[in-house]
Amino acid sequence: MPQAGQLSNTRQATMTTPPTPIDMVFCTIDTSRMEDEQGEQLTPGAIRTLTEGEVRVDQSQSKWRCLAVTKDPKKPRIRIACRNEQEHAMVKQLVEAKLPRGARMLRDELYPVKVDYVSRMVVLDEANTIRSGAAEEIGKENDVQVAKVGWLSNRDVPKAYGSMVMYLTKRADAERLLAEGYAYAGGQSGRTKVFESRPRLDQCYNCQQMGRGHKAHQCDRPQVCGKCAKEGHHHSACTETILKCVPCGGPHASFSRNCKKLYPSLNE
């Protein structure tokens, strides 16, 4: 939902019913890769003018206006608020094609829902990885579109049931499943809950260590391989066959989703 004080004065001057927060969706534009001068010129006002001009021509609606345009106070991003899924798809397609160099339209926002008491066989295969087609099948069972699923319980503990998170493409579907309290997975009902993600620490891709604000371009430590954890080479040139994770010491690469420190919610 747009933050107070960040909305531009772009309400449509019609008598239509205003969208609820559930219905409202956004197109998000990232400007972090633009030159400083160009980024300063790409303001919410400029995006509003671009959007309205493209939509008016494409849809032959001379009075069409954006619902709202917001600027993220912390990140170099601008969001275009849309009234529904159809308008969102139209605006995204038209604006994305006209963005200046360096600006990019981010992928659509996903809405996570946690589901408890799910059969691990529905989500994981024999190799303890996400089963191919699991997201699609679970989506069909619940009459929703699921972009991806994740297994939240500890994969190394052979329990028959655990918790998963499914990422839905529509906010309204996520709200519905949470309101109903249940979701199907493999023909069985699991209890739905709000998914509370844990903030991740930054990982340095030079030394592989983790910490707040620790980035590779600022790191003065020796280079450490992200595959074998040995010093002196990059993982792209690694010839070792035994993997080792620097953050947790596990038998996998330092950037693996099996790392308990890097991805704690996936390895509970």
Q: Residue 207's pLDDT is what?
A: 92
Q: Residue 265's pLDDT is what?
A: 61
CA pair distance 152, 150, nearest whole angstrom: 6
> Does residue 15 carry a pLDDT above 50?
no
Percent of the chain with pLDDT over 70: 87
> Does residue 47 carry a pLDDT above 80?
yes
Q: Write out the two tokens for 78.
A: 């601008």
Q: Alpha carbon 180 to chain centroid distance?
A: 24
Instruction: Choose which CATH entry (1.25.40.10, 1.10.287.110, 3.30.70.330, 3.40.50.1100) describes domain 111-194.
Output: 3.30.70.330
Topology of the domain covering 25-106: Alpha-Beta Plaits (3.30.70)
| CATH 3.30.70.330 location in the chain | 111-194
Q: Which residues contact 1 (CB under 8 A, 6 or more apart)?
A: 21, 24
List the single range of 54-58, 145-149, 196-200, 237-241 with lowest mean pLDDT. 196-200
